[in-house]
Chains A and B, each alone.
Chain A
Amino acid sequence: MKGDPGSDVPHGDTLLAFADAALGGDKAVLDRAREAVRLAVGDAGLSDAAAVIGGFDGITRIAEATGIPLEPEKAAQTADFFGALDIGRFRRAKT
């Protein structure tokens, strides 16, 4: 993603590239990203990583299509990075 700050999570950069590729349209990029994840976390880790990506590709659509709001207590807890990352721009784009 543009302006990606990277990650301190173990194999984080490899996993982020895998998520980007799994939702992208380039099969060759996805094939390379998949093999990188397999080398990093093994076959079982690859399967579980792909499962999380699939699950969130579905649940984000549920959240957006039903218009559910973030709970007030969660919004308060995340207000600092919500603002820092300008996540409100997502709301401004809605039609």
Chain B
Amino acid sequence: MRSALETAQNEAWRRLGLPGTWWTGQERLAIAQECRAATGCAFCATRAAALSPLTVAGRHDVAEPSLPAAAIEAIHRIRTDPGRLGETWFLTLRAAGLGEAPYVELVSVVAVTVAIDTFRRGSGLPPLPLPAAEPGAPSRRRPTGAKPGLGFVATLAPEDRTEADPDLYRDHPGPRRRVGANIHRALSLVPNSMIHWWDVLEELYQSGPQMRDYGVDYRAIGHAQIELLAARVAALNRCEY
């Protein structure tokens, strides 16, 4: 494993146990643990195999009962059936009491957990044990410039970021490394979650400038090989983006 990749992996894993913006460190680790357990959930397996998930009723096999039921549902569906998540489903979570920003942070924790678990499984490495939770309260700060309308959740566009917000698009030192594509904005309602995700993705995959620098190979496989793998995983997960 490249040393930069190992460093990024370890740092992303450590951050799972830190207090977040909307969840405590303990709660974030419960989300990660529930994400891992979801792959063995019989209800999820039945639902994922059904023509429509709406046609199947049942109960999740829950590993972390301290989490709210709506969070359990979100974690399990995102882990086991991501290609059929629609806004109607998202609104049922909201109606059940899961806040918009806590949901975004939950998505980031699931994504980091899945990415590192899949990487290590593919590499033939054992899964990492979850880190220890660090004490502290969530900061509960929502960016004042966030606006609805792009997807299911509000987002913070680069031009709406204020000095009170973290440097989520990496404006400094310029030029901006995260250009502000929709995929960059997806988690931007919770800037530290967006940073958590992109810091590790840019080592698992490539940074934006590296991706667009076709004359140089930054990895031990070439650009075409990287994009072939990326496209295949997107197709397997039925990702339209």
**Residues of chain A lying within 8 A (CB to CB) of residue B222:** 10
**Residues of chain B lying within 8 A (CB to CB) of residue A94:** 84-86
- Decide if A58 touches B112 in the complex (CB within 8 Å): yes
- Decide if B221 touches A71 in the complex (CB within 8 Å): no
B203 near A: Cβ within 8 Å?
yes
Known A1-B235, A15-B225, A55-B119; contact A67-B87, beta-carbon cutoff 8 A: yes
The proximity string for A residues 36-69 relative to B, scoring 1 for CB distances below 8 Å and 0 otherwise, is 0000011011111111111111111111111111
Question: Which one of B84, B186, B201, B235 contacts A66 once the chains associate, using CB atoms below 8 Å?
Answer: B186
- Decide if A58 touches B115 in the complex (CB within 8 Å): yes
In the complex, chain B residues 71-120 whose Cβ is within 8 Å of any chain A Cβ: 74, 78-79, 82-90, 104, 107-108, 110-112, 114-120
B230 near A: Cβ within 8 Å?
yes
Binds A, one of B59-67, B148-156, B164-172: B148-156
Q: Which residue of B lies closest to A38 (CB)?
A: B124
Question: Which one of A44, A69, A88 contacts B220 once the chains associate, using CB atoms below 8 Å?
Answer: A44
In the complex, chain B residues 183-241 whose Cβ is within 8 Å of any chain A Cβ: 183, 185-187, 197, 200-201, 203-205, 219-222, 224-226, 228-230, 232-241
| A13 to B1 Cα, complex, angstroms | 23
Q: Is the interface of B mostly helix, strand, loop or mixed?
A: helix
Separation in Å of the B178 CB from the closest CB of chain A?
Answer: 13
- Decide if A68 touches B233 in the complex (CB within 8 Å): no
- Decide if B107 touches A63 in the complex (CB within 8 Å): no
- Decide if B220 touches A47 in the complex (CB within 8 Å): yes
Which of the listed residues A44, A52, A62 has the most CB atoms from chain B within 10 Å of its own CB?
A: A62
**Which residues of A approach B to under 8 Å, CB–CB?**
1, 7, 9-12, 15-16, 18-20, 22-23, 30-31, 34, 41-42, 44-71, 87-88, 90-91, 93-95
The 8 closest A-B pairs by CB, nearest first: A54-B119, A58-B115, A50-B122, A55-B204, A94-B86, A67-B151, A44-B220, A60-B239
With A31-B124, A50-B123, A54-B118 given, name 6 new contacts (CB 8 A).
A1-B236, A10-B225, A47-B123, A48-B5, A48-B226, A58-B115
